[in-house]
Amino acid sequence: MAAHIGDFYARVESRRHAWPAGRDDLHWHLLHDAALVEEHLVAPYRELSHRPGLAPVPAPWIHTTVMHGGPVDQYTNAELTTIVDRVGEACAAIEPFDLIYDRPSVGTVAVECPARPGAPARRLWELTTAVDAGVTGGRFPKIPAGAYYPHVSLAYGVGGLERADRRAMKAWLSDHPGGPVVLRATHLSLVAQRHDRRHITWSPIAVVPLAQAATVTAAA
């Protein structure tokens, strides 16, 4: 029997700390220029990501999650301001760095491009989760709880009768060339993120630069 990609959104809605459809949760992301993402990550693998049973991620919504926080409406305005200020102060001493995104791998619920080196991104995960816990008194769980690794998802498995065939997708990858892609991390983005059981979108809250003056930009 063929192995198929499962429903990513069913998993996040049923886990212990569930993320239901339509709810805005606080997220910190590393985001890259959408034109570069389209050229180097999305376009070469369009045939892989646009299959029945998958929801492909358009380039503007490709993201490397650093931290998944609590529901946005459960933070006070003062807490959000303090979180952004403290993360901004810390990031002013952190140099921009390159992330090398490898060729996609076909997972159980998504098509992912793992990134390396993990240590610089993991430092940001440690920073943002520590600030969030310190400001909120630890009201929200740490997501991910451990073994953080940076990656982007090119497509998510979705509900329905059809399921993408993982073996066929791996065979496709074996026949198509493609190398690692280097993208530079220059800032952290704080967003209010939600999903509709097919796509992930967000509203920007603030942008925190790396290794610049300790000022942050409120999102338009």
Please give the CATH topology (third level) of the domain spanning 8-215.
Cyclic Phosphodiesterase; Chain: A, (3.90.1140)
Residues 111-117: what's their mean pLDDT? 98
Q: Specify the pTM.
A: 0.93
Given a cut of 50, is residue 180 above it in pLDDT? yes
Q: Where are the domains of the chain?
A: 8-215
The predicted structure's pLDDT at residue 1 = 45
Residues 118-123: what's their mean pLDDT? 97
Closest Cα to residue 68, out of 204, 185, 193? Answer: 193
CB 39 within 8 A of CB 182: no
- pLDDT single digits (tens) 21-55: 999 999 999 999 999 999 999 999 999 999 999 99
**Averaged confidence pLDDT in the chain:** 94
The predicted structure's pLDDT at residue 213 = 44
- pLDDT single digits (tens) 142-157: 888 878 999 999 999 9
- pLDDT single digits (tens) 184-213: 999 999 999 999 999 999 999 999 999 964
Alpha carbons 98 and 102: distance in angstroms, whole number = 13
- pLDDT single digits (tens) 59-84: 999 999 999 999 999 999 999 999 99
The predicted structure's pLDDT at residue 147 = 87
Given a cut of 60, is residue 214 above it in pLDDT? no
